[in-house]
Structure 1
């Protein structure tokens, strides 16, 4: 930045630069400078007449030079240092009071380095002191009836120079500091606004992720609730068709079991729909609600580990050979962990029905010191024709998502003998969500 071209606000009070004329940011700044330059030019012109009478120079020349010196004030915003130097240069002619005052204020209020401002203000003060000293001596010389010692004249001249120099400089420094403070506060406000925009964007991204996670969880829960029951119903329907004519008693028992499974499936569907309605109500609830709207609540009265035996019996009733063992001392695991273990076993048995008809399965539940392990292992199919069942391919993914949500580990894959293995390890206490 050029020191002679420092930008100064239009009215000296600060403000953001705007489109205007030449180096004026606003039109009112141009008209203000034009008015000050006119006043200064008129003053310097009148004082030039007095200077001409004292020196014997042609009055027209002094008036013209004074007018040009005073009119230079219109350049105060563009070249504040040059205008101050001009006011110091014409001070011996005892002209330019308005020029000096406005020029010093403009210099102090501009972005010129402070050391330059102090140096030029000191030069102006010395020049004003000398001019005042000469004026006092001339006054005493013309008025023989008054007497004043040189020390008194010197002190009076210094005080007068300070009174002329200090106020505009101090006012300009104050306006400069105030403008910088306003700009700093404005920048801070802009920074806070940008931060708020970033926070709003991040909040929108988090909300979108929460909605995606909610949709995924809803799909996973619907799959777990429906797939197992419906798969068993399809298996029983096929068995019912096969024995309907050969063994009416067994067919009747299968039909009764099929009806029970249908009713259980409907009950679980109603529970799931109730959960979804609850989540929808909480989504439109006030912001002071305790539970976030994007989090789907746990299943009310969801399955627990005590129901694993019943789950195994249902698969056995469908013709599958299932062995169920429990190891370790039973201890409370928390409803969410128990639901996850139940759903893992349920989905694993459903996959056996779908993909390994006639295979033997082994469900193993092991309680450890700080965790619980579950293993569902099945052998290869014995060649029994499989009942065609639709598969969305999301069963294993859903099991893994459920387990990892609680900070557990999940693994699934084929075994060397052609079977399949599903294992999960979960902490006894669920991870808080």
Structure 2
């Protein structure tokens, strides 16, 4: 985990302007060393200037102690070092001050100006000093040595700390930039992880809804017909044994069909669970829900499902249960994508199931229209007889049939409309794009 800028500011534990106690101890040590140096050099300055030695020592100690504020005011430290350069003191303060100035965040023109002033001041002072020493006869060298010594000393006292400070400052800014980028990347990764978790939860909810819809379509219609046939079987068992046997056979056939479809659905769920377990071992937790949903959806789409060719059989089953159903097909019959045919079949199936539940005995019209770029279907029933409607109240309803039909149709870009008719019946209409 990286440390953000706010956390670094909160972690400052040093006194005053120092970020750490270690930095404060270092600056205090440098200030003491600079004060001692300037105090010793102040003795010579006092003798040359004709002032008391104690005054020179105090002046040197005070000037050298300015190094204590080098981090807070580097410009002031450099200016003090330039000011005491003619007194031939403050060499340590000049070196450390230039380094601190170059490593700071100040504009380059200010750094260049102060470095140039320090170089020129050192050059003049060294030129005068070397010339004085040669005039005293301390050195017996040619005239070329004076400018050579002055230039070499001035560059040697100015260039190395300046270049080192520029390098350290650039490296420090680079590290700060890298920290900020790392913080930004960490925040983006955290945001992506949260979004991935949200998408995974959404995918899990969608898959639960899809499974519930499939189970409802598989079970509700078959069981509703079985209940209707069972009621008819109970009514005619003693009066018409042959019809009772026929109704019992129909109940058995529908029960076997329901079990077959349930086995197919459970097989899809098992394969989806296996894929989810494999995905859980191979990918992070936030992707398991998406992987499981995709695997289950792919398995359902590739599995064998109902198609429009089975629509007549579906209507025949409702007719065998005592419903008067009128099926009409318009347009040129053709095949569609598997998901389009399954959706159209499920809409008709669920609409017929609702008629069995809520309008038993009502005459029902099923219309299917093959158009150029779409397929339309409509299931409309007349008002149910009073006796039949009373008996149909025994069939429970979860209230999810119309919701499931609308979800299926709108998922394919279609339009779904349902509601009561003026005559007292109920109408379900859907239009699904062919592509």
Q: Corresponding residue for 2:293?
A: 294
The 3-state SS of whatever aligns with 2:71 is: coil
Using the TM superposition, give the Cα deviation of residue 164 of structure 1 relative to its aligned residue in structure 2, in angstroms.
1.5
* In the alignment, structure 1 residue 394 sits paired with structure 2 residue 400: yes
Q: Corresponding residue for 2:271?
A: 278
Q: Deviations over 1:363-391 (max 9, x none)?
A: 12222222222111222213342322101
Using the TM superposition, give the Cα deviation of residue 427 of structure 1 relative to its aligned residue in structure 2, in angstroms.
2.3
Distance in 1 (CA, whole Å) between partners of 2:250 and 2:189 is 60
Distance in 2 (CA, whole Å) between partners of 1:48 and 1:137 is 21
Gap change, CA 1:138 and 1:277, over 3 Å in 2:
same
Using the TM superposition, give the Cα deviation of residue 148 of structure 1 relative to its aligned residue in structure 2, in angstroms.
4.9
* In the alignment, structure 1 residue 202 sits paired with structure 2 residue 195: yes
The 3-state SS of whatever aligns with 1:88 is: helix
Given the two structures, how large is their TM-score scaled by the length of structure 1?
A: 0.90
The 3-state SS of whatever aligns with 1:23 is: coil
Using the TM superposition, give the Cα deviation of residue 113 of structure 1 relative to its aligned residue in structure 2, in angstroms.
2.6
Within the candidate set 101, 104, 113, 2:107 is matched to 113
Distance in 2 (CA, whole Å) between partners of 1:331 and 1:97 is 98
Given the two structures, how large is their TM-score scaled by the length of structure 2?
A: 0.90
Gap change, CA 1:319 and 1:108, over 3 Å in 2:
same
Using the TM superposition, give the Cα deviation of residue 106 of structure 1 relative to its aligned residue in structure 2, in angstroms.
0.7
Gap change, CA 1:384 and 1:39, over 3 Å in 2:
same
Distance in 2 (CA, whole Å) between partners of 1:321 and 1:76 is 100
Q: Corresponding residue for 1:247?
A: 240
Which 5+ residue runs of structure 1 have no aligned equivalent? 1-14
Q: Deviations over 1:106-152 (max 9, x none)?
A: 11111223222222212212211221121122112211874655x87
Contact 1:357-1:383 within 8 A present in 2 as well: no
The 3-state SS of whatever aligns with 1:294 is: helix
Using the TM superposition, give the Cα deviation of residue 53 of structure 1 relative to its aligned residue in structure 2, in angstroms.
2.9
Q: Note the 1:32-431 alignment, pairs <5 A.
A: 32-143=26-137, 146=140, 148-149=142-143, 153-154=146-147, 156-286=149-279, 287=282, 292-295=291-294, 296=296, 297-298=299-300, 300-386=303-389, 387=392, 388-429=394-435
Find runs of 4+ consecutive structure 1 residues off by over 6 angstroms: 288-291
Using the TM superposition, give the Cα deviation of residue 301 of structure 1 relative to its aligned residue in structure 2, in angstroms.
1.8
Gap change, CA 1:130 and 1:357, over 3 Å in 2:
same
Distance in 1 (CA, whole Å) between partners of 2:310 and 2:141 is 120
Contact 2:34-2:64 within 8 A present in 1 as well: yes
Between 130-139 and 92-101, the greater mean CA deviation after superposition: 130-139
Distance in 1 (CA, whole Å) between partners of 2:48 and 2:164 is 35
Using the TM superposition, give the Cα deviation of residue 60 of structure 1 relative to its aligned residue in structure 2, in angstroms.
2.0
CA RMSD of aligned residues (A): 2.1
Contact 1:332-1:428 within 8 A present in 2 as well: no
Distance in 1 (CA, whole Å) between partners of 2:195 and 2:140 is 83
Contact 2:35-2:62 within 8 A present in 1 as well: yes
Using the TM superposition, give the Cα deviation of residue 175 of structure 1 relative to its aligned residue in structure 2, in angstroms.
1.2
Q: Deviations over 1:13-40 (max 9, x none)?
A: xx97732122221122122112222221
Distance in 1 (CA, whole Å) between partners of 2:272 and 2:243 is 43
Within the candidate set 12, 18, 34, 1:18 is matched to 12
Distance in 1 (CA, whole Å) between partners of 2:334 and 2:309 is 12
Distance in 2 (CA, whole Å) between partners of 1:160 and 1:34 is 27
Contact 2:13-2:21 within 8 A present in 1 as well: no
Contact 1:408-1:426 within 8 A present in 2 as well: yes
Contact 1:357-1:384 within 8 A present in 2 as well: no
Structure with the higher fraction of residues in helix conformation: 2
Contact 2:38-2:64 within 8 A present in 1 as well: yes
Q: Deviations over 1:32-54 (max 9, x none)?
A: 11222222122212212222232
Q: Deviations over 1:293-315 (max 9, x none)?
A: 12333163211111111100000
